[in-house]
Amino acid sequence: MAEVKLAVLGGSGAGKSALAVRFLTRRFIGEYASNAECIYTKHLCLDGRQIHLEIYDPCSQPQRGKLSLTDELHWADGFIIVYDISDRASFAFAKALLYRIRESHIGGCKKMVESSVFLVGNKQDLCHMREVGWDEGQKLATDNKCQFCELSAAEHYQEVVAMFMKVLRNITSNFKAKEKRRPSGSKSMAKLINNVFGKRRKSV
């Protein structure tokens, strides 16, 4: 069974938790307030292949301060970067996150070569309050060589599922392209990083 580790990152209120919970349970949680980081776990079948998925949700990631992302960059196989189309500050934060990821890639972090990154403009149902244009999101994604979509966690369940599945297919394709799946010590390293994160695990 393939293990896939996915980090969902973005500014506070962008809808990270709503997207993750929508994908995993079909339910939409409008107001999700939590100060606790967690990892959701789920078994699923992707194109006939069994996947053990872990989704890291920082829940209330601050939009200020230095973006080290050191643990996330070494832990995750892929990233979903979320911003709120009705909040330009969240878009600026998403841009900073993408820059940090790209910087690590350029710096020669081997894990980043394997990582899939997807930029998501959330809350499309609030288009009447839009502050960030679709073309701006597309350009940011193009500049950072990642995929892009706009959707609404509240209204677009199928689009949310399709987006997550596309990310998972990209990640598993990267796995297949490698002769070795992971270094022998990766499980203990992942366990160490999980301990550092101190996250709660939720099976769904």
Contact 95, 141 (CB under 8 A): no
pLDDT digits (tens, 9 = 90+) for 22-51: 999 888 876 555 556 788 999 999 988 899
| Per-domain boundaries in the chain | 2-198
Q: Which residue has the higher pLDDT, 83 or 63?
A: 83
Question: What is the structure's pLDDT at 179?
Answer: 42
Question: What is the structure's pLDDT at 173?
Answer: 85
Question: What is the structure's pLDDT at 12?
Answer: 87
pLDDT digits (tens, 9 = 90+) for 126-185: 999 999 999 999 999 999 999 999 999 999 999 999 999 999 999 988 877 664 545 544
Name which of 58, 53, 52 is nearest 13 in CA terms: 58
* Residue 148 CA, distance from chain mean position: 12
Question: What is the structure's pLDDT at 31?
Answer: 59
- The CATH number of 2-198 is 3.40.50.300
Angle at the Cα of 194 (from 192 to 197), degrees rounded to 5? 115
Q: Which residues contact 176 (CB under 8 A, 6 or more apart)?
A: none
Q: Which DSSP string do the residues of 37-76 spell out, in sequence order?
A: -EEEEEEEEETTEEEEEEEEE-SS--SSS----HHHHHH-
pLDDT digits (tens, 9 = 90+) for 68-116: 677 788 889 999 999 999 999 999 999 999 998 888 765 555 454 456 9
